[in-house]
């Protein structure tokens, strides 16, 4: 079995895979990572482990993982299942690397656009012959709500909410309409632009806001909240062969 460790800025995802099957997933606070990894290590017979980290991991945690598991740490120099044509490959986020790898694994020989709706919204495109060309990065939902509050004197900070109407008839409803409809039109518009160039495009939506957005989008998409974890597992398998 494989143990996948995805360390974000505020929380950690732990996943155990038996080949391609997700056996268990835990989302935990970063402070609990050592205890949770030890628990999973005692519960399952772990063969290999992969770590993906955009957040900070304390040295004692890394030392424990290296002592107790056969570990691969994902980086921009890791062997990947696609040709990376990004002009600045050393700056490509490892979370985006994992998402593109998942697309190669689950949608082989397909032009694929992976949209990760999290703190930022990232768009990553890979061709049917596994050439990664790049994509786009824009502010996510919470970033947009917060920027309206942070960068103005009088606009309130609101919780994410599906707008009731296109036309907001109060400050709050106008903010909801602007933020949410703006993101929906952005995503639908970019998908349409990609499909003009690649008519057989496969679109995958993932990330923390995927469920909130997927039911409101006009475009046909695959929503998969575990896509990044599946990509990390595939990279681990790819490097184990």
Task: Enumerate the known binding-site residues for K(+).
Answer: 116
So which residues are the catalytic ones?
Answer: 95
What is the number of other CB atoms lying within 10 angstroms of the CB of residue 23?
A: 14
Annotated binding residues for ATP, written as ranges, equal 6-13, 119
Annotated binding residues for substrate, written as ranges, equal 86, 93-96, 171
* Contacts (Cβ under 8 Å, ≥6 apart) of 109: 128, 129
- Alpha-carbon distance of 181 to 167, in angstroms, equals 10
- Alpha-carbon distance of 171 to 173, in angstroms, equals 6
In the 3-class helix/strand/coil scheme, how is the chain assigned residue by residue? CEEEEEECCCEEEEEEEECCEEEEEEEEEHHHHHHHHHHHHHHCCCCEEEEEECCCCCHHHHHHHHHHCCEEECCCCCCCCCEECCCCHHHCCHHHHHHHHHHHHHCCCCCEEEEEECCEEEEEEECCCCEEEEEEEEECHHHHHHHHHHCCCCCCCCCCCCCCCCCCCCHHHHHHHHHHHHHHHHHHHHHHHHHHHCCCCEEEEECCCHHHHHCCCCCCCEECCCHHHHHHHHHHHHHHC
């Amino acid at each position: 079995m494989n143990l996948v460790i995805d360390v974000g800025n505020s929380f950690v995802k732990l996943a155990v895979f038996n080949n391609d099957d997700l056996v268990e997933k835990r989302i935990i606070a970063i402070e609990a990572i050592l205890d949770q990894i030890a628990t999973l290590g005692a519960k399952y017979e772990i063969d290999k482990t992969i770590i993906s980290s955009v957040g900070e991991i304390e040295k004692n945690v890394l030392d424990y993982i290296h002592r107790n598991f056969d570990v691969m740490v994902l980086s921009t120099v890791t062997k990947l299942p696609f040709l990376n044509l990004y002009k600045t490959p050393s700056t490509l986020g490892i979370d985006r690397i994992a998402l593109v790898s998942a697309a190669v694994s689950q949608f082989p020989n397909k032009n694929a656009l992976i949209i990760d709706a999290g703190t930022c919204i990232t768009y990553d495109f890979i061709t049917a012959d596994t050439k990664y060309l790049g994509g786009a990065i824009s502010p996510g939902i919470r970033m947009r709500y917060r920027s309206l509050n942070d960068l103005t004197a009088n606009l309130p900070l609101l919780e994410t909410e599906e707008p009731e109407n296109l036309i907001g008839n109060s400050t709050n409803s106008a903010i909801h309409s602007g933020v949410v409809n703006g993101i929906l039109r952005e995503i639908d518009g970019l998908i349409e632009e990609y499909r003009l160039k690649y008519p057989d495009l496969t679109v995958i939506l993932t990330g923390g806001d995927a469920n909130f957005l997927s039911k409101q989008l006009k475009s046909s998409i695959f929503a998969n909240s575990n896509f990044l974890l599946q990509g990390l597992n595939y990279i681990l398998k790819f490097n184990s062969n």
